[in-house]
């Protein structure tokens, strides 16, 4: 059970319901927002940032998803690991690729740009102060300056909100494998994922 109370969709701020299309969303799609909804203005800000990141992105959906899932692993955010976004699946994210991001240096399925983005995400999630000029110069081989801003904001969004989600322990609607607690870390390929919008 989530550590914070979940607010039923019918009790949300009407504008938040509209912004999130909550009335048509599934339980898993609405899960984090059921907690954010206690603070409607903050929730709307989170939605606005997430929407801006998704709607104005120039990086591929596939890159966004592999970065998100790699960070979900570092965060051990079970709700993040349990879902796959339809647009990313349409852009080539399958479970073979997801398994490969568990060890990105050995993954043949990843492009050089994806490997660079994942290395940056790993450092950002685990040792952000080690990110130096050399890291950014290496990223510039694959990404423009605006794409570096975009990538950095996406990584920050995933690290911060993924860690928050992990502490909220929102697992009720997840596959059983993602609900269990144990000493061994889970991976994004620990169970069959749930497809969301």
* Tens-digit pLDDT string for the chain (197 aa): 789 999 999 999 999 999 999 988 777 778 899 999 999 999 999 999 999 998 999 999 999 999 999 999 999 998 899 889 999 999 999 999 999 888 888 888 999 999 999 999 999 999 999 999 999 999 999 999 999 999 999 999 999 999 999 999 988 888 788 887 766 788 888 777 877 87
In a shared domain, residues 91 and 138: yes
User: Which domain-ending residue is among 56, 71, 92?
Assistant: 56
In a shared domain, residues 169 and 112: yes
In a shared domain, residues 103 and 188: yes
User: Which domain-ending residue is among 19, 36, 56?
Assistant: 56
Please name every residue paired with 83 in a beta bridge, in sequence order, or none if there are none. 194
CATH number reported for the structural domain that contains residue 108 in this entry: 1.20.1290.10
**How far apart, in whole angstroms, are the C-alpha atoms of residue 118 and residue 147?**
14
The tokens 């993954």 sit on which residue?
107
**How far apart, in whole angstroms, are the C-alpha atoms of residue 194 and residue 176?**
12
In a shared domain, residues 70 and 39: no
**How far apart, in whole angstroms, are the C-alpha atoms of residue 173 and residue 195?**
13
DSSP-derived secondary structure for 72-106: HHHHT-HHHHTEEEHHHHHTT--HHHHHHTTSGGG
In a shared domain, residues 30 and 65: no
In a shared domain, residues 48 and 84: no
In a shared domain, residues 121 and 133: yes
Nearest to 160 by CA among 195, 128, 186: 128
pTM above threshold 0.85: yes
Q: Which domain holds residue 125?
A: 60-196
In a shared domain, residues 20 and 79: no
**How far apart, in whole angstroms, are the C-alpha atoms of residue 97 and residue 45?**
32
User: Which domain-ending residue is among 15, 30, 56?
Assistant: 56
Q: Are 94 and 195 in contact (CB under 8 A)?
A: no
Give the three-state DSSP class for 157. helix
Please name every residue paired with 194 in a beta bridge, in sequence order, or none if there are none. 83
Nearest to 101 by CA among 128, 121, 125, 77: 121
Q: Domain count for the chain, please give it.
A: 2
In a shared domain, residues 11 and 93: no
């Amino acid at each position: 059970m989530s550590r914070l109370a979940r607010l039923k969709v019918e009790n949300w701020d009407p504008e938040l319901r509209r912004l999130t299309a909550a009335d048509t969303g599934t339980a898993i799609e609405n899960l984090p927002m059921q907690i954010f909804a206690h603070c409607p203005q903050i929730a709307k800000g989170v939605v606005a940032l997430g929407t801006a990141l998704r709607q104005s992105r120039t990086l591929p959906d596939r890159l966004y998803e592999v970065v998100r899932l790699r960070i979900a692993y570092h965060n051990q955010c079970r709700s993040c690991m349990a879902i796959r976004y339809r647009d990313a699946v349409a852009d080539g994210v399958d479970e073979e690729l997801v398994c490969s991001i568990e060890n990105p240096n050995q993954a043949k399925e990843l492009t050089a740009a994806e490997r660079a983005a994942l290395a940056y995400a790993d450092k950002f999630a685990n040792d952000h102060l080690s990110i130096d000029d050399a890291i950014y110069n290496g990223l510039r081989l694959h990404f423009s300056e605006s794409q570096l801003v975009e990538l950095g904001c996406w990584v920050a969004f995933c690290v911060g909100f993924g860690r928050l989600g992990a502490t909220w322990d929102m697992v009720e609607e997840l596959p059983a494998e993602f609900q269990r607690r144990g000493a061994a870390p889970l991976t994004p390929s620990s169970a069959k994922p749930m497809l969301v919008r």
